[in-house]
Amino acid sequence: MNARQILVKNGAHIGTPSKVEAMKRFIFKIRPDGLAIINVQSVDERLRTAAKMLAQYEPEDILIVANREQAHKPVEQFCKHTGFQGITGRFFPGTMTNPNLDYFIEPKLLMVIDPWVDKQSVTEATKQRIPVISLVSTNNTFSDIDLVVPCNNKGRKSLAAIFYVLTHYVLYEKKGLTEGQELEAKFETFFDDSRDSQ
Least confident of 31-35, 106-110, 114-118, 120-124: 31-35
Kindly tell me if the per-residue pLDDT of 98 is higher than 70. yes
Q: What is the DSSP letter of 91?
A: P
Kindly tell me if the per-residue pLDDT of 76 is higher than 80. yes
21 Cβ contact partners less than 8 Å away, ≥ 6 residues apart? none
Portion of the chain with pLDDT greater than 90, in percent: 79
Radius of gyration of the chain (CA): 16
- The average pLDDT across 31-58 equals 95
pLDDT band at 197 (very low <50, low <70, confident <90, very high): very low
CB atoms within 10 A of CB 36: 23
Asked if 82 and 171 touch (Cβ cutoff 8 Å), the reply is yes
- The string of pLDDT tens digits covering residues 126-153 is 999 999 999 999 998 888 999 999 999 9
All domains of the chain in start order, with CATH: 3-188 (3.40.50.10490)
Residue 197 or 98, more confident: 98
Q: How far apart are CA 195 and CA 155, in angstroms?
A: 11
Average pLDDT, the chain: 92
Residue 176: per-residue pLDDT: 78
Residue 193: per-residue pLDDT: 65
